[in-house]
Amino acid sequence: MPDAIVIGAGPNGLVAANVLADAGLSVAVFEAEASVGGAVLSAELVEPGFVNDVYSAFYPLAVASPAMRAMELERWGVRWRHGPLVLAHPTPDGRCVALSRDIDETAASLDEYAPGDGAAWRELMRFWTRIEPALLRGLAAPVPPVRAAASLLARLGPRGVRELARTALQPVRSFTAERFEGEGAALLIGANALHADLTPESALGGFYGLFLAALGQRYGFPFPEGGAGQISKALARRAEARGVTIVTGSPVERIAVRDGRTRGVVVGGVEVRSREVLAAVSVWELDRLLGRATPASAEPDPAVVKVDWTLDGPVPWSAAAARRAPVVHLADSLDALTEYSAELGQGREPQRPFVLFGQYSQGDPTRAPDGKETAWAYTHAPPDANSERTANRMEDEVERRAPGFKALVRGRHVALLPPGRVNGGTAQLHNQFIFRGTRWGRPRTDVAHLYLASFSVHPGGGVHGAAGWNAAVSALRRRGKLARGGGRAGSPA
Ligand SMILES: Cc1cc2nc3c(=O)[nH]c(=O)nc-3n(C[C@H](O)[C@H](O)[C@H](O)COP(=O)(O)OP(=O)(O)OC[C@H]3O[C@@H](n4cnc5c(N)ncnc54)[C@H](O)[C@@H]3O)c2cc1C
Q: How far is CA 483 from CA 69, 290, 448, 476, 478, in A?
A: 22, 31, 20, 9, 10
12 CA closest ligand 1 atom index: 25
455 CA closest ligand 1 atom index: 26
State the SS3 of 40-102: CCEECCCCCCCCEECCCCCCHHHHHCHHHHCCCHHHHCCCEECCCCCEEEECCCCCEEEECCC
pLDDT at 250 over 70: yes
Q: What is the pLDDT of residue 482?
A: 66
Map residue 429 onto helix, strand or coil.
helix
pLDDT tens, residue by residue, 261-299? 999 999 999 999 999 999 999 999 999 999 998 777 789
Kindly report the number of other CB atoms within 10 A of residue 150's CB atom: 11
Q: What is the pLDDT of residue 252?
A: 98
Helix (H) or strand (E) holding 399: helix 387-401
Q: Would the CA dihedral through 456, 457, 460, 464 be positive or negative?
A: negative
**Residues with a CB atom less than 6 Å from ligand 1:** 7-13, 30-33, 38-40, 55-59, 61, 251-252, 280-281, 285, 289, 304, 306, 378, 417, 421-424, 454-455, 461-463, 467
Q: What is the pLDDT of residue 86?
A: 98
pLDDT tens, residue by residue, 132-183? 999 898 877 877 778 888 888 888 888 888 888 898 899 999 999 999 999 9
Give the whole-angstrom CA distance, residue 395 versus residue 409.
10
Q: For a ligand 1 pocket test, name from 7, 54, 55 the mutation site with the most ligand atoms within 8 angstroms of its C-beta.
A: 55
Residue 491 is which amino acid? S
Answer yes or no: are the C-beta atoms of 322 and 109 closer than 8 Å. Answer: no
Tell how far the Cα of 466 is from the centroid of ligand 1, in angstroms.
13
Tell how far the Cα of 424 is from the centroid of ligand 1, in angstroms.
8
Tell how far the Cα of 173 is from the centroid of ligand 1, in angstroms.
30
Give the whole-angstrom CA distance, residue 321 versus residue 435.
40
Tell how far the Cα of 272 is from the centroid of ligand 1, in angstroms.
24
Tell me the average pLDDT across 34-58. 98
Helix (H) or strand (E) holding 266: strand 261-267
11 CA closest ligand 1 atom index: 25
- Round to the nearest angstrom and report the end-to-end CA distance of the chain: 22
pLDDT tens, residue by residue, 373-426? 999 999 999 999 999 999 999 999 999 999 999 999 999 999 999 999 999 999
Q: What is the pLDDT of residue 492?
A: 36
Q: What is the pLDDT of residue 484?
A: 46
DSSP, res 439: B
Q: How far is CA 250 from CA 93, 127, 271, 386, in A?
A: 53, 47, 13, 32
Helices (H) and strands (E) in the chain, counts: 16, 19
Instruction: Measure the CA angle with vertex 462, ends 457 and 466; round to 5°.
Output: 55
Q: Where are the beta strands (DSSP E) in 274-352?
A: 276-279, 303-311, 327-330
Tell me the average pLDDT across 330-346. 98
Answer yes or no: are the C-beta atoms of 401 and 319 closer than 8 Å. Answer: yes
Q: Would the CA dihedral through 156, 158, 159, 161 be positive or negative?
A: positive
Answer yes or no: are the C-beta atoms of 293 and 364 closer than 8 Å. Answer: no
pLDDT at 489 over 60: no
Q: Supply the pTM of this predicted model.
A: 0.96
